[in-house]
Amino acid sequence: MAGTGPGAETAINVSALDLADPGFAGLLAAQLAKHGVPPSGLIVEITESAEMADPELAMGQLQELCELGVQLSIDGYGTGYSSMAQLKRLPVHELKIDEVLRPRPAEHDTIVRSTIKLGHNMGLKIVAEGVETEAILERLDQPGCDIAQG
């Protein structure tokens, strides 16, 4: 497994199908143990737009992963089906703002600033995806975006 050095993190994308498997969290825990990776070194990214056939089962898997010490992230926030109520309900640690919402046109600034503030008020780390220029980085830095991913 990559990213196993001190302080290293590895992120994996997880589908709704993965979360529909009642043994998924256990399998992931077994693989972490097998490879000597601390759970805190793993970020499980769930796509906001993934429709879950069994939301309660998926929530149970996410809760197990959270209790294990794995970090959870909502990937592509702002492009899918999430509501504020669902965001509050999910045991996540970070939001990855989709590049669709990155402040290319100035009218998106309000949405991005509000999303960053909302996430921080919920105790979440905020990651902006698709940051490709210094100007975009500066516009994300002002409202306090935690991480820029290009």
Query: Domain 36-149 belongs to what topology?
Result: TIM Barrel (3.20.20)
Q: What is the pLDDT of residue 4?
A: 44
The domain locations on the chain are 36-149
- Portion of the chain with pLDDT greater than 90, in percent: 38
Residue 42, Cβ density class (10 Å: 0-12 exposed, 13-18 middle, ≥19 buried): buried
Check residues 96 and 150 and name the one with the higher pLDDT: 96
| pLDDT of amino acid 101 | 63
Decide if pLDDT at 82 tops 70: no
pLDDT value at residue 23: 95
pLDDT score of 122: 92
Q: Do the beta carbons of residue 113 and residue 120 sit within 8 Å?
A: no
Sheet of strand 147-149: strand arrangement: 10-14, 42-47, 71-77, 94-97, 125-129, 147-149
**149 vs 104: CA distance, rounded Å:** 15
Mean pLDDT of 109-118: 86
**Higher pLDDT, residue 86 or 49:** 86
- Percentage of the chain with pLDDT > 70? 79
State the average pLDDT over residues 74-98. Answer: 78
* pLDDT mean over 88-113: 76
pLDDT tens digits for range 29-67: 999 999 999 999 999 998 765 556 777 888 899 999 999
Q: What average pLDDT does the chain have?
A: 83
